[in-house]
Structure 1
Amino acid sequence: MKFSKQIIIDLPREEVFKKVEDPTNFKHWQKGFISYRHLSGKPGQEGSRAKLKYKMGKREISMIETIIKRAVPGKLHVSYEATGVFNIQKNYFQEEEKTRTLWIADYEFKFSGFMKLMGFFMPGAFKKQSLTYMKDFKNFAENGNRVNEYGKTN
Structure 2
Amino acid sequence: MKFKQEIEINKPREKVIAYFDNPENLKKWMKGLISIEPISGEPKQEGAKSLLKFKMGKREMNMTETILVHNLPDEYTLSYEAKGVHNIVKNRFVKLSDNKTKYIVENEFQFKGFMKIIGTFMPGSFKKQSLKYLQGFKNFAEKN
Where on the TM-score scale, by shorter chain, does this alignment land: which range? over 0.9
The aligned residue for residue 58 of structure 2 is 58
How far did 1:73 drift? 2.2
- Can you give the 5+ residue segments of structure 1 that lack an aligned partner in the other structure? 145-154
Matched residues in 1 for 2:64 and 2:132: separation?
21
Which runs of 5 or more structure 2 residues have no equivalent in the other structure?
Answer: none
- Is 1:119 equivalent to 2:107 in the alignment? no
Q: Distance in 2 between matches of 1:86 and 1:18?
A: 27
Residue-by-residue CA offset, 1:100-130 (whole Å, 9 max, x unaligned):
1111100000000111111011000000110
Name the SS for the 1:79 alignment partner. Answer: strand
2:17 maps to 1:10:
no
SS at match of 1:62: strand
Question: 1:134 — aligned with what?
Answer: 134
Alpha-carbon offset, residue 72 of structure 1 = 2.4
Q: Counterparts of 1:21 and 1:64 in 2: how far apart (Å)? A: 18
Residue matched to 1:152: none
The match for 2:25 is 25
In structure 1, the partner of 2:143 is 143
Q: Which of 87-96 and 22-31 deviates more? A: 22-31
User: Matched residue pairs, number?
Assistant: 144
**Alpha-carbon distance in structure 2 between the residues aligned to 1:93 and 1:74:** 6
Within-5 A mapping of 1:45-84: 45-84=45-84
Which digits, 9 at most, give the CA deviation of each residue in 1:75-124, with x for residues without a partner? 11001000000000001111111211111100000000111111011000
Deviation, structure 1 residue 3: 0.2
1:142 is matched by which residue type in structure 2? E
**Normalising to structure 1: TM-score of the pair?**
0.90
Q: CA–CA distance in 2 between the matches of 1:104 and 1:23?
A: 19
Distance 1:53 1:129 in 2: 16
Q: 2-side partners of 1:45 and 1:8: how far apart? A: 26
Q: Distance in 1 between matches of 2:129 and 2:12?
A: 25
1:118 partner SS: helix
Question: Scaled by the length of structure 2, what TM-score is found?
Answer: 0.96
Contact 2:72/2:92 (CA < 8 Å) preserved in 1? Answer: no
1:147 aligned partner: none
Q: Percent identity at matched positions?
A: 51
Report the counterpart of residue 87 of structure 2 in structure 1.
87
Runs of 4 or more, structure 1, over 6 Å off, are: none
Aligned-partner SS, 1:76: strand
